[in-house]
Amino acid sequence: MSDLQPLYTLDACRFSSPLQWGLTVFWRQAEPGDGWFPALAAATELDGIRLLKHDFREPAVSQFAISTQPNVSPLVVVQRVKGRLQYLVRTRRPKALQGHYAIRSVGRVTRERVEAYVADQLGHHRMADPRIQARLAQFQIERPDVDLSQPQKTSHGIYWYNLHVVLVHVERWREVREDVLQRIRAMIVRVCQGKGYRLSRAGLLADHVHLVLGCPIEVAPDEVVLAFLNNLAFAQGMRPVYQVGGFVGTMGEYTTNAW
C-alpha cells in the first residue's frame, strides 16, 4: 500500500501571517554605533526576515524589532541575524557577539487578550439550536496548567514562541455531528502531543477552529498550520475540509506598541 499523500502542501497554501518578534543579542564589548544596520537589514530581507528597528538597550545589548515570512522559524531568525551581523563587523571585531540570546513573539494585542478572545468564541458565534450549542461546549479545550507567559530555554538562550492559529472550513461549511467533533478534538490533542506544541486553548466552532499554543523554536509557523490542516483532514476521512491555508499570528506578553 502506498503512503498517504498530504492534501495540503506548503507550495499550495496561502497564509494571513502577522508574525513579529523582539530579538535581543549581546555584544562581548560595548558597540560604538549601529552604522551596520542598513546593510544588515538588506541582507536579512533575503532570508524572509525584515528588520524594522534597532536600539541599544545598554551599550553591549542590541534589541531588534522584526517581522518575518511564515516559513521562517524563530531559530532561523536568531541564526541569520547574529550570523550576518558578525560577518559585517568581522574585520574590527572577529568575535563580536556572545552566544546567548532572547527572542519573543509579539503581536498587535497581548497573549492574554487573544486567549480571552478565543475563550469567548462559543458565546460570540452562538448557534440557534441550544442542543448544538451545548454539544459544541463539550469540545472546547482549556489548559490552565499551560502557562504561555513563561519562557522556554535552549542551551544558549530563552524564547517565547506563541501562536494564534485559525482554520476555516471551505465555504464556511458547518460541522455539528458529535462523532466528527470528537475526532477533531482528539486529533488536536494528538498533534500537540506528537509535535511538542504547548496547547493552551482551542475554540472548536461549527465552521472554524481557533488554536492558542506555544511551539518549539526550530519549527516555522507555516509548518505548524500544515500539521493541523493535514491531520484534521485525516481525522475527517481525508477530505479537504479546510481552506487552503489559514491565519497564523504571533502574540506575547507585550505588543508592538512597546517598540
Res 5: pLDDT: 86
Taking the C-alpha atoms of residue 176 and residue 204, their distance in angstroms, rounded to an integer, is: 10
Tell me, yes or no, whether 102 and 117 share the same domain.
Answer: no
Q: Is residue 115 part of a domain?
A: yes
Give the pLDDT confidence score for residue 1 in this predicted structure.
40
In a domain, 32, yes or no: yes
Same domain? For 131 and 215 the reply is yes
Secondary structure of residue 7 in the 3-state scheme: coil
Flag whether pLDDT at 2 surpasses 70: no
Residue 140 within a domain: yes
Q: How confident is the model at residue 58 (pLDDT cuts 50, 70, 90)?
A: confident
Are the beta carbons of 96 and 89 closer than 8 angstroms?
yes
Tell me if 3 is assigned to some domain.
no
CB–CB of 238/7 below 8 Å? yes
Residue 240 has pLDDT above 70, yes or no: yes
Is 2 a domain residue?
no
Sort residue 227 into left (φ over 0), alpha (ψ -120 to 50) or beta. alpha
Residue 36 forms part of a structural domain: yes
Instruction: Please indicate, yes or no, whether residues 170 and 47 belong to a single structural domain of this protein.
Output: no
- Asked if 162 contacts 212 with a C-beta cutoff of 8 angstroms, the reply is yes
Please check the confidence at residue 209 and state whether its pLDDT lies above 70: yes
Whether 54 and 147 map to the same domain: the answer is no
Strand (E) or helix (H) holding 4: none
Answer yes or no: do 206 and 116 share one domain.
Answer: yes
- Count of all residues that appear for the chain in the document: 259
Give the domain range for residue 216.
108-153+161-258
Q: Which of 251, 188, 193 is nearest to 225 (CA)?
A: 188
For residues 147 and 203, membership in a common domain is answered with: yes
Q: Are 192 and 95 members of one domain?
A: no
Lookup: cell for 38? 542598513
pTM for this prediction: 0.94
Note the pLDDT tens digit of each residue in 99-158: 999 999 999 999 999 999 999 999 888 999 999 999 999 999 999 999 999 999 999 999
Q: Domain check: are 73 and 187 in the same one?
A: no
Determine the average pLDDT of the residues in 222-237: 97
Look up residue 165 and give its three cell numbers: 492559529
Percent of the chain exceeding pLDDT 90 equals 92
75 plus 113 within the same structural domain: no
Say whether both 67 and 139 belong to one domain. Answer: no
Number of helical H runs and strand E runs in the chain: 7, 12
**How many structural domains comprise the chain?**
2
208-214 and 162-168 beta bridge pairing: antiparallel
Q: Could you tell me if 59 and 185 lie in one domain? A: no
pLDDT given for residue 259 in this prediction? 72
Question: Is 248 part of any domain?
Answer: yes
Quick one: 91 and 176 in the same domain? no
- CA-closest candidate to residue 163, choices 205, 229, 222: 222
Section 227-255 average pLDDT: 97
